[in-house]
Amino acid sequence: MPENSKNKNNKSVYILGIESSCDDTAAAVLKDGKIISNKVANQAVHEQYGGVVPELASRAHQQNIVPVVDAALKTAGIKKSDLSAIAFTEGPGLLGSLLVGTSFAKSMSLALNIPLIGVHHMKAHILAHFIDDNEMRLPEFPFLALTISGGHTQIVQVNNHFDFKILGETLDDAVGEAFDKSAKIMGLPYPGGPLIDKYAQEGNPKAFKFTKPKVSGLNFSFSGLKTAILYFLQKQTKENPGFIQENLADLSASIQYTIVQILMDKLKLAVAQTGINRIAIAGGVSANSGIRKALLQAQNDLGWEVFIPKFEYTTDNAAMIAIVGYLKYLDGKFSGYDVVPKARMPLDY
């Protein structure tokens, strides 16, 4: 944590973080970088559609944002007037969803006359490792971040809090989509990633073999895997309509095993190419027990230093937005009121 962790008057710095990039409305408060509240309202409305419906997500954010921010301030035990700055997700994400958080943050910042700080959602996933939470170790720079979520799959070299370099990324589907789409093919509800993880616990990872994509360098591809699973299951269910139900655990374990192998192969290559063996995972898929196990194995066998965030900081949350807000606050990196949310936002933005 930077040395001047308080503001000029030696008063504590309270940052409110707001996250609304997809289907979770979240608010959190940090005091001098330390987590003092972290609230999230999930949107169950999308389950019946098998994926996030942008229009419904924006409406649900409108309903949730005031109560969620209110709850975060109450739990933190502070008043609005105690806040030093408001940090919000500027992008990337669903534009309608981002607009709700952006407009809310602007209004609150104007009303309280405190700085407004736009935050990059994917950098926030990575910098979640710097939330002061007693139980987490801080990675030293430089480190490699494996960012795995429903929208992204990247290996990023992180040189300092503000210097990120993408070494490789997916050319098509994100790894979270690979989990969710495979789950959908098996008839599981959205989001299927956590369900595959759950059923995989009881299954044999070597029961079914799916070929890994051949992509050179540090880039990834997951769309072929989804198609391979689809064709395999179509063939099997033609012969035995109960095939999926009877083999759900083995199928889940085999799919998870294949995905984890793809990620680990690329990570090993990234470590070999950069000579950096500090690995931090980020994003919703880092909650997956298979990738956590494989990384801990590599820590033991290959001498890597592995950083795995607490579960609540892996999926979309506002504590990660607040920590970036705090780091930018200390650096005087504020946004103007003409800031607009961005559906797409490169990592070097």
Residues that bind Zn ion (CB under 5 A): 149, 316
Which helix or strand (DSSP H or E) is residue 157 part of?
A: strand 153-160
Please, which residue, 149 or 277, has the CB nearer to Zn ion? 149
Q: Which of 84, 314 has the CB closer to ligand KG4? A: 314
- Does 147 sit near ligand KG4 (CB under 6 A)? no
**Considering only residues 283, 309, 325, 341, which one is a binding residue for ligand KG4 as defined by CB under 6 A?**
283
Taking CB atoms, the residue at the shortest distance from ligand KG4 is 284
- Tell me how long the chain is: 349
Q: Choose among 114, 216, 115, 219: nearest CA to 175.
A: 219
- Return the closest-CA partner of residue 251 out of 274, 225, 276: 225
Asked whether position 150 contacts ligand KG4 by CB under 6 A, the answer is yes
Q: Does 247 bind ligand KG4 (CB under 6 A)?
A: no
- The answer to whether 27 and 39 are in contact (CB under 8 A) is yes
- In the region spanning residues 260 to 279, those forming contacts with ligand KG4, defined by CB under 6 A, are none
Binding track, positions 11-40, relative to ligand KG4; x by CB under 6 A: -----------x------------------
Alpha-carbon distance of 9 to 20, in angstroms, equals 32
The amino acid at 210: F
Q: Using the rule CB under 6 A, is 191 a contact of ligand KG4? A: yes
The CB density around residue 33, as the number of other CB atoms within 10 Å, is: 20
Q: Which stretch binds ligand KG4 (CB under 6 A): 63-71, 143-151, 160-168, 329-337?
A: 143-151
| Alpha-carbon gap, residue 221 to 262, rounded angstroms | 9
Q: Give 86 or 174: the residue with its C-beta nearer to ligand KG4.
A: 174
Determine the residue type at 155: I
In sequence order, the β-bridge partners of residue 183 are none
Residues 102 and 345: beta-carbon distance below 8 Å = no
Q: Could you give the string, one character per residue 296-315, with x where binding to ligand KG4 holds by CB under 6 A and - elsewhere?
A: -------------------x
Which residues of the chain form contacts with ligand KG4 (CB under 6 A)?
A: 22, 149-151, 176, 179-180, 191, 193-194, 197, 283-285, 287-288, 315-316
